Chain A
Amino acid sequence: MGVILKVENISKQYRLGTVGTGTITHDLNRFWYKIRGKEDPYLKIGAVNDRSIKASSEYVWALQDINFEVQEGEVLGIIGKNGAGKSTLLKLLSRVTSPTTGVIKTKGSIASLLEVGTGFHPELTGRENIYLNGAILGMTKAEIASKIDEIIEFSGCEMYIDTPTKRYSSGMTVRLAFAVAAHLEPDILVVDEVLAVGDAEFQKKAIGKMQDISTGDGRTILFVSHNMAAVKSLCTRAIVLENGKVSFEGDTDNGINFYLAEEKKKISKDLSTIKNRSGDGKVRFRSFHIEHSNGDIIENVLNGDTIVFSFKIDVTNNHAKNFNIDLGFSIHTSDDELISVLYNSYQSKIINVNSNGEYIIQCVISNLALNEGDYIVKGRIECNKIESDWPKIPLGSFTVIKGDFYGNGNLGFNGKSKLLIKGEWNIKS
């Protein structure tokens, strides 16, 4: 197996603002003012005219000096935050736009699933759309014809295949579109976020199909996703993009950990300066962060993982002796709906301090059972049953990403639920 795709020194520059004014009347008018030695009439109207600002701020590098190679048969995961340059990279790979510098060399054909259903026409039937969409994605009519039955079966839309797609539900359209895309046979398949669509059953089917493609047919796949569980189960190698540069290249597990720890550099904020708080102030919150079980400070956590809530507190009372500290925290959704509260006293855990100073109190939460979403953490401290500190603003926040909660790769229910549970299943007669 050799190198099938080689990306060399790829950079992509975008120009901010508009080039020219965008209309010929404005540009002619501007030209006429310039001839008469007057100033640009549109400078006054637009807030920013790119010609009046020095070049440094005009351009932005969406990608800078990207280098990597893909081996034949490899499934490469591309991970990165929004704006890290993933989409730009995929656009370059799928030839939608061309790079500013550098060259991408490929030994095989590349087909992308940038967005499924491209070119679907609502007036055409499902069958007609399969042909049209397949051809847009680079298949010949004969290739599609040889697979049409397979595609229809995979989509699960047999009954409505000769109905115009305008009568389809959005889920059906997506399934049909994915079915076409999944039956493409390029040498290199570029997949972006398609697994985020459809119901759980279809997602499973889609992941299974992707696995078939990569293991069975030995096809090369570039997989871009926020779904860490899918990346984990599919990819053999991963690269992490950060601000348009490759910040990590290596095996998948390390890549995911690297990505989750990306926020490490962000120092947890100083909570001692919060003004809006109540309590006698004998014991106060200093800072808060969440750690991965390996000690990395993280903001993105996978459900099913073991994480550590770490509170740094200050004990400042002069007569600090035999302080019985009861520290509590609450988890809320991003729209401030309370989900759960936990004090150490609930679990009969006694925390005693006898002198001034800085203490770190940690709470290990194993098998995190929150569904994906953004959450905020608030906290309160009691000292000898008297309220000591209660900041009225959150201590911090974190984001839960779909992980392997059930321990078997199953992503579970796809709809909106906040809490995940699992149990022992039995059958009795």
Chain B
Amino acid sequence: MAASQNDDTWLYEISAKHRLIDLNFKEIWRYRDLLLLFVKRDIVTIYKQTILGPLWYLIQPLFTSIIFTLVFNNLGNIQTGGIPPFLFNLTGITAWNYFTACFNGSSNTFRSNAGIFSKVYFPRVIVPLSITISNLLKFGVQLFILIVFYIYYNFNGFTIVPNTNLVLFPIYVLMVALLGLGLGMIVSALTTKYRDLSVLVGFGLSLLMYVSAVPYPLSEARSKLPAWVADLVEYNPLTQIVEGFRYMVLSSGSFSWFGLLYTFLICISLFFLGLIIFNRTGKSFIDTV
């Protein structure tokens, strides 16, 4: 074969070489329609399933909030700074639930899509991205319940007003999504090697909730917990998110621009770390399952 002059203008090469950062954003952009169709599929199939599917979205946060109120506020006597404890808990749980939904969805990527992945190539990251987006629906439904109770309490003698920080709402949602995605992608890469890790992860997730200031305000942790535990809680990016979320919705708790910047940087870094690990695993995981 005579070498023609355009011999080196290859569209792409498939080889064993790995660069550390091998992200092809152009390619992900080219598959944006697939991303939207996956989102559509997730949403449509939820509605075509049993009635309990969407209902579970309502039951789970309501019951968790009731239990938290009974245990932590009534029994444990945790002060919520003038905010009705139920509403306080519901707010925290709404933010927390979006995180766990993104995290769980992303961390199952390889195991639940092994069939598709072994047959067709497309940027694997499309799957966790689509899960994160379609979970926004669930988040929206839970946000709606929050608003209902918000109005209910305002009609019943409480004056709860949102903060001007509410303009930061999209930033907070983005941070939750990035954090859930990032951690989820790291775990999904690990679970292809260690299948029993998912049990550990489920346990770890419920522990994580307690050091993320979901059922109590950060100020209570500062005043009642040993200093090192309080530090642990405060520098947990999830605490910053939950506390910041409550601050803008309920005007209770604390907020600092430094905390926001710190959290944002951590979320971004974890997201990119997850993306790199995820991509490396995606190239060869079919050989190990």
Contact (Cβ within 8 A) B11 A19? no
Contact (Cβ within 8 A) B284 A97? yes
Tell whether B257 is near chain A: CB-to-CB under 8 Å.
no
Count chain A CB atoms within 10 A of each CB in B1, B12, B44, B49 and give the residue with the most: B12
Contact (Cβ within 8 A) A97 B283? yes
Contact (Cβ within 8 A) B196 A24? yes
B122 to chain A: closest residue by CB: A136
Contacts of A124 in B (CB 8 A): 41, 44-45
A62 to chain B: closest residue by CB: B287
Contacts of A128 in B (CB 8 A): 40-41, 44
Our pick among A20, A27, A106 for the contact of B11 (Cβ within 8 Å) is A106
Contacts of B13 in A (CB 8 A): 103-106
Our pick among B14, B38, B116, B119 for the contact of A92 (Cβ within 8 Å) is B14
B120 to chain A: closest residue by CB: A118
B33 to chain A: closest residue by CB: A141
Looking at the assembled complex, report how far the CB atom of B19 sits from the nearest CB atom of chain A, in whole angstroms: 13
Contact (Cβ within 8 A) B1 A135? no
Contacts of A51 in B (CB 8 A): none
Contact (Cβ within 8 A) A119 B120? yes
Stretch touching chain B among A107-115, A315-323, A404-412: A107-115
Contacts of A25 in B (CB 8 A): 196
Tell whether B221 is near chain A: CB-to-CB under 8 Å.
no
Our pick among B4, B12, B116, B193 for the contact of A20 (Cβ within 8 Å) is B193
Our pick among A24, A98, A109, A131 for the contact of B15 (Cβ within 8 Å) is A98
Contact (Cβ within 8 A) A114 B119? yes
Tell whether B223 is near chain A: CB-to-CB under 8 Å.
no
Contact (Cβ within 8 A) B15 A121? no
Tell whether B57 is near chain A: CB-to-CB under 8 Å.
no
Given contacts A2-B4, A24-B200, contact A138 B122 (CB under 8 A): yes
Within 8 A of B (CB), among A137-164: 137-142, 164
Tell whether A32 is near chain B: CB-to-CB under 8 Å.
no
A-B contact count (CB 8 A): 121
Contact (Cβ within 8 A) A118 B116? yes
Looking at the assembled complex, report how far the CB atom of A127 sits from the nearest CB atom of chain B, in whole angstroms: 12
Please measure, in the bound complex, the distance between the C-alpha atom of A2 and the C-alpha atom of B10, giving whole angstroms. 12
Please measure, in the bound complex, the distance between the C-alpha atom of A257 and the C-alpha atom of B37, giving whole angstroms. 46
Contacts of B193 in A (CB 8 A): 19-20, 22
Tell whether B194 is near chain A: CB-to-CB under 8 Å.
yes
Contact (Cβ within 8 A) A123 B121? no
Contacts of B7 in A (CB 8 A): 3
Interface residues contributed by chain A, number (CB under 8 Å) = 52
Given contacts A91-B286, A96-B286, A103-B14, contact A119 B116 (CB under 8 A): yes
Contacts of B31 in A (CB 8 A): 135, 138
Please measure, in the bound complex, the distance between the C-alpha atom of A140 and the C-alpha atom of B30, giving whole angstroms. 8
Contacts of A115 in B (CB 8 A): 119
Please, what's the 1-or-0 string for B14-57, where 1 marks a CB less than 8 Å from any CB in chain A? Answer: 11100000000000001101101110110011001100000000
Our pick among B34, B194, B195, B287 for the contact of A136 (Cβ within 8 Å) is B34
Contact (Cβ within 8 A) A99 B11? no
Contact (Cβ within 8 A) B11 A95? no
Contacts of B10 in A (CB 8 A): 6, 105-107
Contacts of B174 in A (CB 8 A): none
Our pick among A96, A100, A108 for the contact of B121 (Cβ within 8 Å) is A96
Contacts of A104 in B (CB 8 A): 13-15
Contacts of B30 in A (CB 8 A): 140
Contact (Cβ within 8 A) A99 B15? yes
Tell whether A69 is near chain B: CB-to-CB under 8 Å.
yes
A122 to chain B: closest residue by CB: B45
What is the interface of chain B, defined by CB distance below 8 A to chain A? 1, 4, 6-7, 9-16, 30-31, 33-34, 36-38, 40-41, 44-45, 48-49, 115-122, 193-197, 200, 283-284, 286-288
The list of the 5 closest CB pairs from A to B, nearest first, reads A95-B121, A135-B34, A103-B15, A24-B194, A141-B33
